[in-house]
Amino acid sequence: MGITHNNIGEGARLSAIQEQEWGTFHTRPVHQVTMTNAAGATARITNYGATLLSLEIPDRHGQLIDVTLGFDTFDEYLGTHPFFGATIGRCANRIAGGMFTLDGHMFSLDVNNDPNHIHGGRRGFDKHLWDITRAGQGLGDVFVKMAYTSIDGDEGYPGNVEAAITYTLTFDNTLRIEMQAGADASTPVNMTNHSYWNLNGHESGSILDHEVTLIGDAYTPIDETRITPGEIKPVDGTPYDFTTPKPIRTNMDALPLLGEDDPGGYDHNYVIRDADGTLKPAAQIYSPQSGLTMYVRTNQPGIQFYTGNFLDGSIIGKAGVPYGKHHALCLETQKFPDAINKQGVEGWPSVILRPGEPYYHEVQYAFSCDKK
């Protein structure tokens, strides 16, 4: 669509948004949008999967570092990878057995994480080309909005869903992601962003020394298939307790393994404290090496904390960097995993979107830096 806009922000470095063709998908052009704010931070997004490709933030020395994992070329995103930066839908996380019942009807979904359905299926929202509908600037912020229609029967889900996402890079180094949807039939919707974060830079190896605070006093335990039985348990006195800041590695060895193939590490949903549908703090991550702190705020009730356990060095990312175990962490804001099969369970949020109801999910990743 040929976006090129420039604007002088307060103070006043140049902020800008630019678009360029990046490849072709089923004869349609794929676009890459680059947004730069007045502070010099830069976010790159593609309309393939409404995916965040990179986010460059200044560290304590004023050097820009790319804090997300990903690839350099479009073709690499067509290969197998663990959802780097992708918009996930219709339903994030796992659905037990790839089945659910809604209004008396049973639905079978694609089983793409045996024995379960995960992240919308083999061709979820992340594997489709979105339409760029709007882009621009205002008051020092830069944004791009995209839309996608998921048709009735898509990956087994009922009803047509009109989805939209807006990425905004603010003047104060906050990346705001707003996900919206509407449906013409009742269907589960539980979107998320699946970025992999390393506050030392994507090329910097392990994140186990990152200091983590999770603003949640409870979590949802999982079985060997990584499905929760519907329990909510307190984190106090367990290795899952991040209510005060601590390096990720602190209690990792105390985590129970979920079978012979469990690589170890965190992959758990936390119940956000005082969640009420308004923006609440959900997590805080600090890197002593770069001086960067990332603050996560969301209007969702849950956040999946994942420590890149299944990365094994076989994926070669940006600049030829192999992404090994614990190379990054994910903080996926969401309603709880398998919520469609926990209808009526106390404390479990509903993921059912009815016709005429709006779905709105906001998450903010805000950055600051110490000056040591």
pLDDT digits (tens, 9 = 90+) for 316-328: 999 999 999 999 9
Q: For residue 9, what pLDDT is reported?
A: 38
Position 217 pLDDT exceeds 60: yes
CA 312 from chain centre, in angstroms, equals: 20
**Segment among 107-111, 125-129, 203-207, 256-260 with least mean pLDDT:** 256-260
Q: Which of 31, 117, 332, 361 is catalytic?
A: 332
Return the H-helix or E-strand segment holding 167.
strand 161-169
Position 275 pLDDT exceeds 70: yes
pLDDT tens column, 96-133: 999 999 999 999 999 999 999 999 999 999 999 999 99
pLDDT tens column, 18-63: 999 999 999 999 999 999 998 899 999 999 999 999 999 999 999 9
Range(s) of the domain holding residue 44: 4-369
| Count of CB atoms situated within 10 Å of the CB of 113 | 16
Position 3 pLDDT exceeds 70: no
256 falls in which pLDDT band (50, 70, 90)? very high
- The mean pLDDT value for 75-103 works out to 98
Beta-carbon contacts of 219 under 8 Å, excluding residues fewer than 6 positions away, are 232, 233, 235, 240, 268, 269, 270, 271
**Encoded tokens for 210:** 């990152």
In degrees rounded to 5, what are phi and psi of residue 55? -140, 115
Domains in the chain, number: 1
Q: For residue 371, what pLDDT is reported?
A: 79
Position 92 pLDDT exceeds 60: yes
CATH code (residue 23): 2.70.98.10
Q: Is 320 helix (H, G, I), strand (E, B) or coil?
A: helix
Query: Cis peptide before 158, with omega less than 30 degrees from 0?
Result: no
6 falls in which pLDDT band (50, 70, 90)? low
Q: For residue 14, what pLDDT is reported?
A: 66
Q: For residue 8, what pLDDT is reported?
A: 37
Position 139 pLDDT exceeds 90: no
Q: For residue 372, what pLDDT is reported?
A: 66
Taking alpha carbons only, the member of 94, 74, 70 closest to residue 82 is 70
354 neighbors 273 (Cβ within 8 angstroms): no
Q: For residue 13, what pLDDT is reported?
A: 56
Beta-carbon contacts of 261 under 8 Å, excluding residues fewer than 6 positions away, are none
**Segment among 6-10, 159-163, 273-277 with least mean pLDDT:** 6-10
338-347: long-range contacts, CB 8 A cutoff, minimum separation 24: 338/93, 338/94, 338/95, 338/96, 338/227, 338/228, 339/188, 339/190, 340/91, 340/95, 340/100, 340/102, 340/188, 341/95, 341/96, 341/99, 341/100, 342/228, 342/230, 345/230, 347/232, 347/271
In degrees rounded to 5, what are phi and psi of residue 252? -60, -35
Q: Which of 119, 194, 210, 327 is catalytic?
A: 194
123-149 burial string, b = 16+ CB within 10 Å, else e? Answer: ebbbbbbbebeebebeebbbbbbbbbe
Q: For residue 11, what pLDDT is reported?
A: 40
pLDDT tens column, 294-345: 999 999 999 999 999 999 999 999 999 999 999 999 999 999 999 999 999 9
Position 83 pLDDT exceeds 80: yes
292 falls in which pLDDT band (50, 70, 90)? very high
d(CA 339, CA 117): 13
Position 5 pLDDT exceeds 70: no
* 332 carries an active-site annotation: yes
d(CA 191, CA 181): 9
Q: For residue 12, what pLDDT is reported?
A: 45
Mean pLDDT of the chain: 95
Position 355 pLDDT exceeds 80: yes
* 194 carries an active-site annotation: yes
